[in-house]
A and B are shown apart, each in its own frame.
Chain A
Amino acid sequence: MEASRKLVRTFGGMILFSLECLVLTFQNKTKWNQVVEQIFQVGVRSLGMTITAGLFVGAIMAIQIDLQLKDFGAEAFLGGLSTSATLRNVGPVLIAFLLSGKVGAYTSAELATMGVTEQLNAIRLLGANPIEYIILPRIWAVVISSFLLLIVGLMMTIFGGVMFAEIIGVNALNYIYNIPSIVTGWSIALSVVKSFLFGVLIAVVSCYKGYYARGGSVGVGAAVQSCSVTNLMLIILFDFLLSMASSTLQDLFNVGYL
């Protein structure tokens, strides 16, 4: 019972927190120069990791799907099937997991440390709103960075698949040529929507958990741990919900299943 209450309190708090940030954004309170600074801190520094991860995710998917296709003698479909599966599901989820570990953990740890060392209280007492001054730039920086990194990562998954195809003897041009025959605009749209939503989730969860951390260094540790677990759970949950919604909409509009 206590656990359910805590869960409701946490998600209720996150919704109110997001609404407050949204209202302040509409009131034009976002300091965009700080957003750019934060994009460099959390985004640019994660680019190398995202590119590497994307390449390997693409290659792993190509390996797995190639193994299945060989049984049916359908290797010609490798490019399309591998790219579709990666774009629609595995790519956004895996890269979002990595970003929640790097960007999310960094942000929540930074904010939690500011909280337990009274920096946030100092801002309050000096007449500023910490959400406006500290949180808004970070939220937008994480949303923008995560979204762009996910898009870059997904493009890298395609390159990873192509590179692996070359290694196993599938012509790269054939691999790429096969992609548009299976990957539809719907798949790309779903991938973009998932990337944006995962970016928002990582931003809100990491800022919320960091901002409300209490209790010294133990509190910072607990905030980062809770941020990681919540991010992972929510990414999986929303991936499931979006996949279900996409499947239902595809049924409704009869736009194919890949």
Chain B
Amino acid sequence: MIVIEKLSKSFTNLKVLNEISFSVPSGECLFVLGKSGVGKSVLLKHIVGLETPDSGSVIVGNKKVDVSDIVILSQIRKQCGLVFQFPALLDSVTVFENISFGLRARGLLKNSKEIEIRVKEKLSLVGLDESIVEKYPSQLSYGTQKRVSIARTLAVEPEYLLFDEPTTGMDPIATTGLNQLIKKLTAQLKITTVVVSHDIKSALAVADRIILLENGKIVFDGTPEKFKSTTVKLAQEFQMGF
């Protein structure tokens, strides 16, 4: 379970998050929607301790995220997997080394055969062929890089999966594939998933619950069905855009 309590964050004079509170029960797939620059990515970064809140707190599992406590932070990060908006693959190493990076760094698997099996298994899970393992990220299309990035995050088998704008820059077929993958992961592996996005189509297709952010506040919190019938102006605008 992830619990966000009265979380506030400002950059210079702009208050991006204003006392936001919500929780994500285990196994739920939550979509956080909002316009660009509303603080969705900042919210995700707070969960893994890449940002420090001005006030409020974030609890992952039963641990409070505290960037000054390296031991706790490291334990929380081991539980979480964040797929960044951009693939964020290491340019200088191959796909195989990228996917196996977390396994080696965390010492999860030491046997090279086991690592190889895990890498191939995760590649297959994201719909990629194992023939790309020796390629470098620059030799892959953007969509493929994103899938490799997801495979890298899944390789360490996190309890909480966080996606930052997962469908940005992907074609409609790849987007549908990714949505199905998120759905599969939540349903089969019971992974708690938080997706920040402005892709309303994906949210309606995949989410168990949707939160809508506007001016640093939550203006909607409910199921996709409720989202379709809400009178919240921004929610209606999102649906009209869709």
**Which A residues fall within an 8 A CB radius of B?**
114, 117-119, 121-128, 133
Contact = CB atoms under 8 A, between A and B. Distances in A.
B156 A117 contact: no
A219 to B, nearest CB: 14
A117 B86 contact: yes
Nearest to B74: A127
Interface string B70-86: 00001001101110111
B116 interface: no
Residue with the greatest number of chain B CB neighbours at <10 A, chosen from A114, A123, A127: A127
Interface residues of B, number: 22
Interface in B3-59: 48, 50
5 contacts: A117-B88, A119-B88, A123-B105, A124-B50, A124-B77
Contacts of B61: none
Contacts of B84: 118, 121-122
Contacts of A117: 86, 88
A123 B86 contact: no
A127 B75 CA distance: 9
Contacts of A123: 90, 101, 105
Interface string B86-98: 1011110000000
A125 B77 contact: yes
Interface of B: 48, 50, 74, 77-78, 80-82, 84-86, 88-91, 101-102, 105-106, 149, 152, 156
B128 to A, nearest CB: 18
B86 A118 contact: yes
A124 B77 CA distance: 9
Given A126-B156, A128-B101, A128-B105, 10 more contacts: A118-B88, A122-B88, A122-B149, A123-B105, A124-B77, A126-B102, A126-B152, A127-B77, A127-B78, A127-B105
A114 B90 CA distance: 8
B164 to A, nearest CB: 9
B82 A125 contact: yes
Contacts of A126: 101-102, 105-106, 152, 156
Contacts of A122: 82, 84, 88-90, 149, 152
B162 to A, nearest CB: 9
B47 to A, nearest CB: 11
A120 to B, nearest CB: 9
B87 to A, nearest CB: 8
B90 A119 contact: yes
Nearest to A133: B105
A127 B106 CA distance: 6
A114 B93 CA distance: 13
B101 A125 contact: no
Contacts of B106: 126-127
A125 B48 contact: yes
Contacts of A128: 101, 105
B88 A121 contact: yes
